Amino acid sequence: MGKHTLPAVDSGSYSEAFARSVDDPEAFWLEAARAIDWDSEPTRALDDSAAPLYRWFPDGSMNTCFNALDRHVLAGRGDQAAIIYDSPVVGKKKTYSYATMLDKVSRFAGLLAEAGVGKGDRVVIYMPMMPQAITAMLACARLGAVHSVVFGGFAAKELAARLDDATPKVIVTASGGIEPSRVVEYLPTIVAALALSSHAVGTVIVKNRAEVPGSAHEFDSPGTQWWDWDERSPSASAHPPVPVLATDPLYILYTSGTTGTPKGVVRDNGGHAVAMAWSMANIYDVHAGDVMWTASDVGWVVGHSYIVYGPLLAGATTVLYEGKPVGTPDAGAFWRVVSDYRVRTLFTAPTALRAIRKADPHAELSEQYDLTCLDALFLAGERLDPDTWTWATALLEKPVIDHWWQTETGWAICASPRGLERMPLRAGSPSFPVPGFQVQIVDEQGQAVRHLGEGNIVIRLPLPPGTLATLWNGDDRYRHTYLSAFPGYYLTGDSGYFDREGYLYVMGRTDDIINVAGHRLSTGSMEQVLAQHAAVAECAVIGVHDEIKGEKPVGYVVLKSGVTIGDRELAAELVSMVRDQIGAVAAFRDAVVVSALPKTRSGKILRKTMRQIANGEEYIVPPTIEDTTAIAVIQAVVLP
């Protein structure tokens, strides 16, 4: 399965690499592709025959799992640690070598094959932060199947929507997840989702956890067989890697839409592998044998890219941490993990640092640990405020590197690429566009905005390898959502500006997607839930600044005439409805009754104005407002 090849040629300094990626992308990305082992090596980088839908390495074939596991074992590094599992919530620590992971993944791929999974079939993975989640992902890749990981915090309704869209043959799950203060049973949610879904899933494979009740033997769903992972996997035959086209899909990852079906971002095999390998070396400066810890969840894009695929493609060691930045057991948990495993590169969200800082403002707990191994801290997920950046920089006395990217892009749009050139950092900025990403600022008419002028952040097409190829079953939706506003450009949905030295500053979303602790969530979907309540006439959900999470959703509701219900009782019911239908991940805890919502004469709720009021920002009352007294209503009830 493929041959071992020489590592990619050094790309040189940042400016040289960026220029080459723009002036000669064919040569640049074919050179980068040398970091991957191919069954059929590509002779072309970009296929633009169906523009604006682009494909990378169209004549190449390979297998992502082979590149993540087999080739490292074949190179004599099978005894090296691939995954370090550290779970303070269950009190377990375990290290898995590359050889061990190859055996486990090969056998689980065999088990999936027994369930009828083959190349191109979909598998939904609904699991907590445990090694079997990575095993299931890589096993799908080994078969050429397409995995779709759904974060375990989503409720049955959200899971059912993803089942209907992805139409998987198999669901891989665990008996449940474990939080510091509670146990979350997954299997009842699976049963409920199967009942809500119109798609029939053939098999559910369950990994039992001793700490969580429930097993595959206790459940029955019409048309679905339930298998026990531990009973069947050991006897399954090891399955070899299946060659796939570089353009074949590796995974679907759903991201929030304002209404209707969630958007399934499609990531290919070849372009993704090339991008991950390039980014590991050139952005993070992480190489074979290094230890990288990405403190995220495998259910999010950061977990896909830099807990699983990036480190393993690079031959590094990845840390899988099942715990919190505080409370498991204290605000020194992150520093303990860095010290214990000699982590070279830590990647987390600003939310985690803010939580640590709130609990331990002077970082006294960090003094118990040796952090000299840490080379750099990377942050992404939401805007990194200058205060947090300054605090972390002073604490670690190491580079704290903000970088900016999206579920759709799969890797950094802007960063300070540490493996290319170690450039000065600036508070509040994710630095410069990464080679391959031609970022521009345009106004509403699509005209370029001069330096220091804020506008829409767009990226000139084609996007580089590793970004979204399209939306699952949704080429037209992909074009309409991302490519129609400014022809020839991808719309990021964020606003920002460049300073005179070329540093980008990302100021926030231009739509109604809010960012809660690094999780992009739709306020529209929350509004749909609130509107279902019998007492609610209309509602609006906005994102309000939160010191820890970045943003938190707050719902403002207008009651139907004649309804009598206590504010506290109503708020509790609305919070419960959102938790049940969207999940705890929404972090929806605040609902406020108001007499009116500010609207335009055409009936559009002025959510942006409401956000500005709630966040204490300056605002201008739009001339199209229907009733100016509604502004005073919001001013009177904004939450601190």
**Selected residue with higher pLDDT from 31 and 184:** 31
- For a pLDDT cut of 90, what percent of the chain falls above it? 69
pLDDT on residue 624: 58
Q: How confident is the model at residue 81 (pLDDT cuts 50, 70, 90)?
A: very high
d(CA 325, CA 351): 9
Question: Mean per-residue pLDDT for 530-556?
Answer: 87
Residue 601 has what pLDDT? 53
Q: Which residue ranges make up each domain of the chain?
A: 513-637
Q: How far apart are alpha carbons 172 and 112 in whole angstroms? A: 9
Per-residue pLDDT of 320-365, as tens digits, reads: 999 999 999 999 999 999 999 999 999 999 888 988 988 888 899 9
Whole-number pLDDT of residue 257: 46
- Within the chain, how many helices (H) and strands (E) appear? 20, 32
Q: Which CATH class is domain 513-637?
A: alpha beta
Does residue 556 or residue 508 have the better pLDDT? 556
Residue 639: what pLDDT? 59
Query: At 520, is the pLDDT very low, low, confident or very high (cuts 50, 70, 90)?
Result: low
Among 220-234, 249-263, 493-507, the range scoring the smallest mean pLDDT is: 249-263
Q: Which residues of 587-604 are buried (b: 16+ CB within 10 A; e: fewer)?
A: bbebbebbebbbbeeeee
- DSSP 8-state assignment for residue 364: G
- Interval 65-79: pLDDT, tens: 999 999 999 999 999
DSSP, residue by residue, 475-541? HHHHIIIIISSSTTEEEEEEEEEE-TTS-EEEEEESSSEEEETTEEEEHHHHHHHHTTSTTEEEEEE
- 618 or 294, which is more confident? 294
Query: Phi and psi dihedrals of 345, rounded to 5?
Result: -130, 125
Give the residue from 394, 398, 386, 298 showing the smallest Cα distance to 346.
398
pLDDT for position 9: 34
Q: What is the phi/psi pair of residue 429, to 5°?
A: -125, 135
Give the span between the Cα atoms of 628 and 621, in whole angstroms.
8
Tokens of 70: 């087999």
Which pLDDT score is estimated for 256?
62
pLDDT in tens, 239-280: 999 999 999 999 999 986 434 578 999 999 999 999 999 999
pLDDT at 491: 96
What would the pLDDT profile of 570-594 be if each residue is shown by its tens digit? 999 999 999 888 888 788 989 999 9
Instruction: Give pLDDT, residue 559.
Output: 87
- What whole-number distance in Å separates Cα of residue 151 and Cα of residue 125? 8
Specify the 3-state DSSP secondary structure of 568. helix
3-state secondary structure of 184: strand
Whole-number pLDDT of residue 114? 98
Residue 200 has pLDDT above 80, yes or no: yes
Amino acid symbol at 504: L
Q: Please, how many CA atoms are within 13 Å of residue 513, restricted to the half-sphere of its CB? A: 20
Residue 444 banded pLDDT, cuts 50, 70, 90: confident
For 301-385, where are the alpha helices, taking DSSP H only? 301-303, 310-314, 333-341, 350-359
Report whether 208 contacts 175 (CB < 8 A). Answer: yes
For residue 548, what pLDDT is reported? 84
* More confidently predicted of 633 and 393: 393
Sign of CA dihedral 485, 486, 491, 493: negative
Q: What pLDDT score does 88 carry?
A: 96
**Could you tell me the two tokens for 638?**
């904004």
Contact 182, 205 (CB under 8 A): no
Cβ-contact 583, 155 below 8 angstroms = yes
Q: pLDDT at residue 11 above 70? A: no
Q: What share of the chain in percent tops pLDDT 70?
A: 94
Measured distance CA(261)–CA(211) in Å, rounded:
34
Residue 79 corresponds to which tokens in the numbers above? 């005894």
Burial of 545 by CB count in 10 Å (0-12 exposed, 13-18 middle, 19+ buried)? middle
Residue 7: per-residue pLDDT: 32
Alpha-carbon gap, residue 248 to 57, rounded angstroms: 11
Over residues 104-119, the pLDDT tens digits come to 999 999 999 999 999 9
Mean pLDDT of all residues in 400-409: 96
Chain segment 159-169, per-residue pLDDT in tens: 999 999 999 99
Q: Which residues contact 613 (CB under 8 A, 6 or more apart)?
A: 619, 631, 634, 635, 638
pLDDT at position 258, please?
Answer: 39
What's the mean per-residue pLDDT of the chain? 91
pLDDT band at 144 (very low <50, low <70, confident <90, very high): very high
Weakest-pLDDT range from 14-28, 268-282, 447-461, 618-632: 618-632
pTM comes to 0.85
Contact predicate 153/585, CB 8 Å: yes
pLDDT(131) > 80:
yes
* pLDDT at residue 382 in the model: 75
Per-residue pLDDT for 424 more than 60?
yes
Measure the CA–CA gap between 274 and 426, rounded to whole angstroms. Answer: 29
Which of 37-51, 327-341, 357-371, 379-393 comes out lowest in average pLDDT?
379-393
The radius of gyration of the chain's CA atoms, rounded to the nearest angstrom, is 24
Q: Which of 4-8, 439-443, 514-518 has the highest mean pLDDT?
A: 439-443
Residue 586's pLDDT is 80
